[in-house]
């Protein structure tokens, strides 16, 4: 097989970042990125389809935070998408620092105040904060040295608990506010929102010997608003596109579906949609053939999901996250020892598309290059200057070799289609933490 070409991958990266800029889910730029990916799949001769699904999209306009008492002036901030906008003059409120936002800190009268808390904010914490009836929430970035992230809350939270204007500030500014005893502040937030469509772009390479067995190689191509999202995840998309070229030329025993997932940043919307559709079809088929044993459905033919999220950083550390059988972990460890690079293996659930696929029973293997400047993810600093062709190829070539050995060339698929119970529980916990106990995904 031809070698992984870092320069080609870098060209994809450049087209997705410098040429397009941001790729916010549901935006025109995300659509342009989808057509770019489709045209690359088409060039490689893959059978390409779009899978559309609805998303709630927001467009940040203005965000301003000012401390009036004591007079600390303006503080750098980013609005939290899908919270709520204020009038142009903003809202005025007394500030209450509630530490991590755990119930132990939510004592006394907090009604009508602006709550200041250190991130992250998940479902339960959001519910607890909103019970206090605040007029605003300011979230301190949990990581040192990082500009405030451009993120959003889930529409599901809003429907359930309502919302108030929310913002994020840098950790260093959070310290300043607490230390100086910031008392009164003004928050002005404005963003537009509308219902829109995002899409998964699927390019299929039919297997030439065992076409019914399907392996996914996916990477999300959307980004946070107004940021290049270079390492997260134009980098992973670039690696995926280069792999699609190599395997389209090389051929594969089993079917490989290359997928560019849409709307990952809005909580894995594309991969959840894809997984849910598979599951619905599976259940329907089971119902129809209640008396016969149904072993073969499209869902069950999915043997593995390979996920590429955060790639290409000049400085960073290669990691692989496995939700599945021990053999899968061993295979990565052995190949990494044999040919390099070094890869740290973990079996913890992480927040990316593979978790949605594993939730419906498909084992997953996520390759990611974390640390270094990838820590800037979801901020305007996650741009192309911190990535290069060499580091796209370093991990890309390894992934290519792994796929060739175990997916494209392997006579019998080497990995059991199973996920240990302890991991299944962790996956459910992950979704519960974000969506709450009684909500379905999507």
Residues that bind Zn ion (CB under 5 A): 232-233, 309
Give yes or no for a contact between 125 and 97, defined as CB atoms under 8 angstroms apart.
no
CB of 368 to Zn ion, least distance (A): 8
Residue 24 has what DSSP assignment? B
Among the listed residues 250, 379, 236, 423, the one whose alpha carbon sits nearest the alpha carbon of residue 313 = 236
Closer residue to Zn ion, CB minimum distance, 17 or 233? 233
Helix 123-131 × helix 421-435 angle, to 10° = 30
CB of 223 to Zn ion, least distance (A): 8
- Give the span between the Cα atoms of 249 and 396, in whole angstroms: 16
Closer residue to Zn ion, CB minimum distance, 231 or 244? 231
CB of 352 to Zn ion, least distance (A): 6
Closer residue to Zn ion, CB minimum distance, 151 or 419? 151
Closer residue to Zn ion, CB minimum distance, 40 or 232? 232
Among the listed residues 229, 232, 245, the one whose alpha carbon sits nearest the alpha carbon of residue 352 = 232
The partner residues of 321 in beta bridges, in order of sequence, read 346, 366
Closer residue to Zn ion, CB minimum distance, 77 or 230? 230
- SS3 per residue for 276-337: HHHHHHHHHHHHHCCCCCCCCCHHHHEEEEEEECCCCECCCEEEEEEECCHHHHHHHHHHHH
Closer residue to Zn ion, CB minimum distance, 336 or 355? 355
Residue 148 has what DSSP assignment? P
Closer residue to Zn ion, CB minimum distance, 15 or 366? 366
Contacts of 56 (CB under 8 A, 6+ apart): 26, 82, 155, 193, 194, 195, 196, 266
- Give the span between the Cα atoms of 169 and 143, in whole angstroms: 11
- Give the span between the Cα atoms of 432 and 440, in whole angstroms: 9
Closer residue to Zn ion, CB minimum distance, 86 or 228? 228
CA dihedral over 128, 56, 48, 273, signed as positive or negative = positive
Give yes or no for a contact between 149 and 141, defined as CB atoms under 8 angstroms apart.
yes
182: Cα separation from own chain's centroid: 34
CB of 351 to Zn ion, least distance (A): 8
CB of 267 to Zn ion, least distance (A): 12
Closer residue to Zn ion, CB minimum distance, 130 or 234? 234
CB of 300 to Zn ion, least distance (A): 28
In Å, how far are 40, 226, 302, 305 from 248, measured between CA atoms? 11, 33, 19, 18
Closer residue to Zn ion, CB minimum distance, 173 or 309? 309
CB of 222 to Zn ion, least distance (A): 9
CB of 395 to Zn ion, least distance (A): 15
Give yes or no for a contact between 136 and 63, defined as CB atoms under 8 angstroms apart.
no
CB of 367 to Zn ion, least distance (A): 12
CB atoms within 10 A of CB 78: 27
- Give the span between the Cα atoms of 328 and 319, in whole angstroms: 14
CB of 46 to Zn ion, least distance (A): 23
């Amino acid at each position: 097989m031809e070698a992984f070409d870092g320069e080609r991958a870098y060209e994809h990266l450049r087209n997705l970042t410098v040429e397009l800029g941001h790729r916010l889910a549901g935006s025109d730029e995300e659509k342009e990125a989808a057509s770019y990916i489709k045209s690359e799949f088409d060039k490689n001769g893959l059978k390409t389809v779009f899978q559309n699904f609805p998303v709630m999209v927001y467009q940040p306009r203005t965000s301003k935070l000012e401390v009036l008492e004591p007079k600390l002036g303006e503080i750098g901030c980013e609005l939290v998408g899908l919270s709520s906008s204020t009038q142009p003059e903003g809202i005025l409120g007394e500030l209450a620092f509630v530490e991590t936002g755990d119930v132990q800190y939510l004592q006394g009268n907090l009604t009508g105040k602006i709550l200041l808390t250190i991130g992250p904010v998940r479902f339960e914490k959001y519910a607890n904060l909103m019970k206090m009836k605040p007029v605003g929430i300011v979230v301190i970035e949990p990581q040192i040295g990082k500009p405030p992230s451009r993120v959003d809350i889930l529409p599901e939270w809003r429907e359930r608990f309502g919302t108030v204007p929310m913002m994020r500030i840098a950790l260093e500014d959070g310290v300043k506010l607490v230390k100086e005893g910031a008392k009164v502040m003004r928050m002005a937030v404005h963003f537009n929102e509308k219902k829109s469509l995002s899409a998964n772009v699927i390019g299929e390479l039919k297997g030439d010997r065992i076409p019914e067995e399907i392996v996914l190689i996916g990477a999300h191509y959307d980004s946070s608003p107004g940021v290049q999202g270079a390492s997260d995840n134009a980098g992973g998309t670039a690696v995926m596109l280069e792999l699609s070229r190599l395997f389209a030329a090389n051929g594969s025993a089993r079917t490989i579906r290359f997928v560019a997932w849409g709307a990952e940043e809005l909580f894995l919307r594309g991969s959840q949609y894809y997984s849910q559709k598979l599951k619905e079809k599976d259940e329907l088929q089971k119902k129809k053939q209640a008396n016969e044993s149904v072993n073969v459905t499209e869902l069950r033919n999915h043997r593995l999901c390979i996920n590429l999220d955060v790639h290409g950083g000049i400085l960073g550390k290669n990691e692989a996250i496995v939700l599945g059988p021990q053999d899968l972990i061993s295979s990565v460890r052995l190949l990494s020892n044999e040919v390099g690079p070094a890869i740290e293996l973990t079996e913890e659930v992480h927040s990316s598309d593979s978790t949605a696929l594993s939730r419906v029973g498909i084992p997953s293997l996520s390759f990611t290059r974390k640390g270094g400047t990838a820590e800037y993810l979801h901020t305007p600093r996650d741009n192309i200057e911190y990535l290069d062709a060499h580091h796209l190829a370093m991990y890309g070539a390894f992934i290519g070799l792994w796929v060739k050995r175990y997916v494209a060339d392997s006579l019998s698929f080497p990995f059991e289609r199973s996920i240990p119970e302890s991991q299944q529980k962790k996956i459910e916990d992950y979704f519960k933490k974000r969506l709450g106990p009684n909500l379905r995904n999507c």
